[in-house]
Structure formats: C-alpha cells, structure tokens
C-alpha cells in the first residue's frame, strides 16, 4: 500500500516521514468471520488537523468501520476486509502494521469495560506510558488523570468507579502519550454533560494543534460545531456526507441521528400515591463516597429523574432505594416490590438464552416482556443467542423488557438510554412512560433528551446533596454544561 505522506528535511539533514492523512480507508466489503458483508463501498479519509464524525443509527456499521480501520477486525476478531486502509501511514490490516497502532494512535473503545485492564486509574495510564518508553511517567499520569477529573481517585479500585468515570479514564489513557491521531467510538456514552464538555475540550485542543481526529457517534449534536465533515452510515454504506457547517439537521434526524434540540414535556399532575420516600438520608459505602438526601419521594404514575455529574452518588441512591445498600443514616420507605436495572444490565440476566430469559421473566413476573422486544427487528433473529452476546444497547433494552414483565411498584433505571440510537430511544421512552402508569419510576440519567421527554419531576445532585429542582432549570443547566469547552 502506498503511504499518503510527504518527506520533510530537518535542520540536521535527516528526512522525516510526515503523514498528512490520519486515515485513508477504501473498503469494498468487510465483515465478521464466516458472515455476510457488513460494510459496502465505504471511502473515508481524515486530513491533517481535521475532525471527521461518522454518525448513524445502531447496527449501521459505524463500530465495524472503527474496528476495520484500526485493524482490530482482521487481527483480533478473525474478520475480513476487501480493500485498503492506511492509518497513520501504516497498514493496520497486516499484523506488522497492527503492532504499530498503539504508538501512533490514541483509541477509545465503545465499551470502557472492555478497555480498562489495570486495577487502578494510575496503573491504567502509567501502563501505556511505560510500554512506550516514557521517562516522566508519574508526572504525566497525574496530569492526565487531573485533566479528566480523576484527581484523588488515582489509586482507587476501578471496580468502584462509575461508568462515566471509567469512560474518562479510557480517554486519559488514550491521549497520555500525545498521539498524532485520535479515534473515539461513542465517546459520550455514559458521560454526564459536564464530562462531555471536557471531551469537547480535548477534541478542540487536538484540532488546534493540527492533530487528526475521527469520532464515531450517533449523538451528533455534541460535535456538530467541532466537526469539519459529517459522514452518515446506514446499512453499511455512506448515506449522507456534508461539511459540518452546512449540515442538514432535519435530514440527520430522519436518518436516525440525534442532532436536534431536546423537547421539554410538561410534567404530569399531583402525586396520587407515594411509593418511595426518603428523610434525612446519608447513603454510601463505609469509608467511601456518600450522598446526602434531605427529602425525596417518588409517586405512582410519575417518572422522577435524578441528574448530576458522574460519580456524584446517583447510582448509590438507586441501590439504597432497591435495598441493595443499607442507609448510613436516615430513613428509607418503599411500599411494594421494587426492580432495579443497573448500568450494566447483565446483572439482571438469569438464563443462557434470550428466549429462556424472556420465559423466566414472564413466569415470575406475570407480564409480557415481548411487548417491548417485538418492536425491534433484531429480536426474532437472536432469540436463541445468549443475552450476554447482545450489543450494549440491545442488552439495555432486554433489561427494561424484563422490568416491564415484573410489574413492580417501584422501578429503578440506571442510565437506560446509554448507547441507544434515536429509533431505539423512542421505543425505550415509550416503555418508561408505560411502566409509569402503574409504577413509580426513578431514572438516574445523563440524557437531557430523556429528562425533557419523560420526567415529571427532577432532582439534581450538587456538591454531594440531592435536592428537587425545576425541570426547565435542570434541562437548561445540562445543555449549558456540555456546550462549554470544559
């Protein structure tokens, strides 16, 4: 493969290879082992100092393109590619070229659980630097962790980090060695609006310094003002391409990409029946982080949103309401059965196949989880698959379907829309409203769309204290937060 580059002569007379394109991918076809083609006729390039966003709905081929362009598809997943790829001046499809990628490129995968490998945040960042031969490892590691808001948590177990904190950790590790090229797959997944502003700041700084950036994202609205070009992928091919400054928002929405402003629905009426209440609660882990909740209630027939930064205690509150954690102080009262769907919905699953999972939920809960699942084309083809083998978004939908089947008096949902495209989001939004007809629904979320669409009341964590806030104010604060540069 010819390198898309030129040579510059230094003051000492040596020639250096200077790559002017991060990526030049001409993929005729690509897919997974023994499978049909997932990608068809994709031609994508990223120029020096350019930010390019690949957008599209779930299952469109965005992540497969990411895996193909980094060499992961052919070298680790036994997939195949017909065509050519040059990344940072090397061929990542070949084993030798693939070995060069960690040195040249900073990569952030879609699921931080599959990327974080070391026991503490410090070890995760330092490991990258040590492997690449850096001498100022400690100084650089602490600087990077501070830059993503993890100061003070350098030596905490990664198991105790929130999903958003793990995401920020993967970003710190990816850019610690100051790569010339940055590839990010769904970088806003699991992040609160305040952390999204930091990611935007990192990307803006990379762009300012003439680096190359490729962002894979279905929430395009977060990067429209930063992207030089937008490429929308549907069914494995390019469906739309535009300069970032002239993008058609309405068309993006029709193509399943989240690009518009959030709606704010008026909350429903007065509380009919209090299902969960809290008085002077201090919740948390012994010797660990706590959240103070002076007063809180959730009523039958309403959706209550809990918002706030990553690691502020939202999940801790949900676990306390679910009786998975004992209060440190104060009183918690819950009437009837509760059902908790965690950020990682795998913990809900009890059966080896999706079909048996649904049968178990129907038998024990009495409801019909297929009311939600039947709305998705992928469901019938995956009935015999393990629920653990489903995509991140698919697992979230199954977890919510199981909750629907159990018909609890109190439903607790932790980030139910993370990783969902617009179409899947609409189905989940409708399911949450359906749940709330006979249940009190408490949702911990960073998704400003969800707050605007379904929340009847909103509580916000500020400086470790949870208090009820006006819905309009909450949405405004979340919008203002991510739009800043961080």
| Domain endpoint, select from 226, 254, 282 | 254
For residue 420, what are its two tokens? 């969902």
HSE value, Cβ hemisphere, 13 Å, CA-based, for 1: 20
For residue 338, what are the domain limits?
274-483
On whether residue 301 sits in a domain, the answer given is yes
Distances (CA, A) of 186 to 63, 125, 183, 251, 279: 9, 20, 10, 21, 38
3-state secondary structure 324-364: CCCCCEEEEEECCCEEEECCCHHHHCCCCCHHHHHHHHHHH
The partner residues of 468 in beta bridges, in order of sequence, read: 459
Segment holding 87, helix H or strand E: strand 80-87
On whether residue 343 sits in a domain, the answer given is yes
Segment holding 263, helix H or strand E: none
Is this model's pTM higher than 0.95 or not? no
What is the number of domains present in the chain? 2
On whether residue 213 sits in a domain, the answer given is yes
User: Is 373 in the same domain as 456?
Assistant: yes
User: Is 280 in the same domain as 187?
Assistant: no
d(CA 417, CA 458): 17
Q: How many CB atoms lie within 10 A of CB 138?
A: 11
User: Is 200 in the same domain as 69?
Assistant: yes
Per-residue confidence (pLDDT) for residue 21, from 0 to 100: 65
| Domain endpoint, select from 254, 289, 310 | 254
Q: Torsion-angle region of residue 235: left (phi > 0), alpha (psi -120 to 50) or beta?
A: left
User: Is 207 in the same domain as 105?
Assistant: yes
On whether residue 264 sits in a domain, the answer given is no
User: Is 376 in the same domain as 291?
Assistant: yes
Contacts of 484 (CB under 8 A, 6+ apart): 197
Coil, strand or helix at 373? helix
How many angstroms from the chain centroid is the CA of residue 183? 15
User: Is 418 in the same domain as 458?
Assistant: yes
On whether residue 410 sits in a domain, the answer given is yes
Per-residue confidence (pLDDT) for residue 10, from 0 to 100: 35
User: Is 245 in the same domain as 310?
Assistant: no
Is residue 208 exposed (0-12), middle (13-18) or buried (19+ Cβ within 10 Å)? exposed
User: Is 170 in the same domain as 285?
Assistant: no
User: Is 224 in the same domain as 279?
Assistant: no
Per-residue confidence (pLDDT) for residue 458, from 0 to 100: 97
User: Is 207 in the same domain as 288?
Assistant: no
On whether residue 266 sits in a domain, the answer given is no
User: Is 218 in the same domain as 321?
Assistant: no
Q: What is the pLDDT along the chain (486 residues), one digit of tens a residue?
A: 333 333 333 333 333 334 456 789 999 999 998 778 999 999 999 888 899 999 998 778 998 999 999 999 999 989 999 999 998 889 999 999 999 988 888 999 888 888 899 999 999 999 989 998 999 999 999 999 998 889 999 999 998 888 778 888 999 999 999 988 899 998 888 788 988 988 898 889 888 888 889 999 988 999 999 999 999 999 999 999 998 878 999 999 999 898 888 889 888 877 889 999 999 999 998 767 789 999 999 999 999 999 999 889 999 999 999 999 999 999 999 999 999 999 888 888 999 999 999 999 999 988 899 988 988 888 988 899 998 888 777 888 898 899 989 889 999 999 999 878 888 888 889 889 988 988 999 999 999 999 999 999 999 999 999 999 999 999 999 999 998 764
d(CA 31, CA 274): 52
Coil, strand or helix at 481? helix
We report the CATH number of the domain holding residue 218 as 3.40.50.300
User: Is 144 in the same domain as 279?
Assistant: no
Coil, strand or helix at 463? coil
Contact 369, 332 (CB under 8 A): no
Coil, strand or helix at 298? strand
On whether residue 295 sits in a domain, the answer given is yes
On whether residue 433 sits in a domain, the answer given is yes
d(CA 92, CA 177): 19
d(CA 81, CA 375): 32
């Amino acid at each position: 493969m010819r390198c898309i580059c030129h040579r510059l002569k230094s003051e000492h007379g040596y020639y250096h290879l200077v790559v002017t394109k991060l990526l030049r991918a001409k993929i005729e076809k690509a897919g997974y082992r023994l499978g049909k083609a997932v990608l068809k006729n994709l031609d994508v390039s990223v120029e020096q100092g350019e930010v390019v966003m690949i957008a599209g709905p779930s299952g469109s081929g965005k992540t497969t393109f990411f895996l193909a362009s980094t060499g992961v598809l052919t070298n680790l997943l036994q997939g195949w590619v017909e065509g050519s790829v040059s990344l940072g001046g090397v061929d990542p499809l070949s084993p030798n070229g693939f070995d060069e990628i960690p040195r040249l490129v900073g990569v952030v995968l879609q699921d931080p659980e599959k990327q974080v490998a070391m026991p503490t945040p410090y070890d995760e960042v330092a490991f990258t630097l040590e492997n690449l031969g850096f001498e100022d490892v400690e100084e650089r590691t602490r600087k990077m962790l501070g830059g993503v808001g993890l100061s003070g948590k350098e030596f905490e177990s990664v198991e105790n980090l929130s999903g958003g904190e793990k995401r920020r950790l993967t970003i710190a590790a990816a850019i610690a060695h100051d790569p010339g090229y940055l590839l990010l797959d769904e970088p806003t997944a699991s992040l609160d609006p305040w952390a999204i502003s930091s990611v935007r700041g990192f990307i803006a700084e990379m762009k300012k310094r003439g680096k190359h950036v490729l962002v894979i994202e279905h929430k395009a609205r977060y990067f429209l003002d930063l992207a030089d070009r937008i490429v929308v992928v549907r069914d494995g091919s390019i469906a739309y391409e535009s300069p970032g400054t002239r993008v058609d928002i309405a068309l993006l929405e029709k193509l399943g990409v989240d690009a518009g402003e959030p709606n704010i629905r008026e909350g429903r009426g007065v509380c009919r029946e209090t299902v969960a209440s809290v008085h002077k609660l201090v919740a948390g882990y012994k010797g660990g982080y706590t959240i103070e909740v002076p007063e809180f209630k959730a009523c039958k027939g309403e959706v209550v949103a809990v918002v706030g930064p990553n690691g502020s205690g939202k999940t801790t509150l949900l676990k306390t309401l679910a009786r998975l954690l004992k209060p440190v102080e104060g009183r918690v009262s819950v009437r009837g059965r509760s059902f908790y769907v965690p950020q990682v919905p795998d913990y809900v699953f009890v059966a080896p196949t999706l079909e048996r999972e649904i049968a178990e939920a129907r038998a024990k809960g009495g409801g019909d989880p297929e009311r939600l699942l039947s709305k998705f084309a992928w469901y019938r083809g995956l009935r015999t698959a393990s629920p653990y083998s489903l995509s991140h978004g698919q697992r979230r939908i199954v977890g919510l379907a199981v909750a629907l089947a159990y018909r609890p008096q109190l439903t607790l949902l932790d980030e139910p829309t993370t990783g969902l495209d617009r179409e899947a989001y609409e189905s989940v939004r409708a399911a949450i409203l359906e749940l709330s007809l006979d249940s009190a629904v408490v949702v911990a979320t960073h998704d400003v769309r969800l707050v605007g669409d379904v929340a009847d009341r909103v509580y916000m964590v500020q400086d470790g204290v949870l208090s009820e806030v006006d819905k309009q104010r909450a949405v405004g604060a979340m919008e203002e937060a991510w739009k800043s540069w961080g």
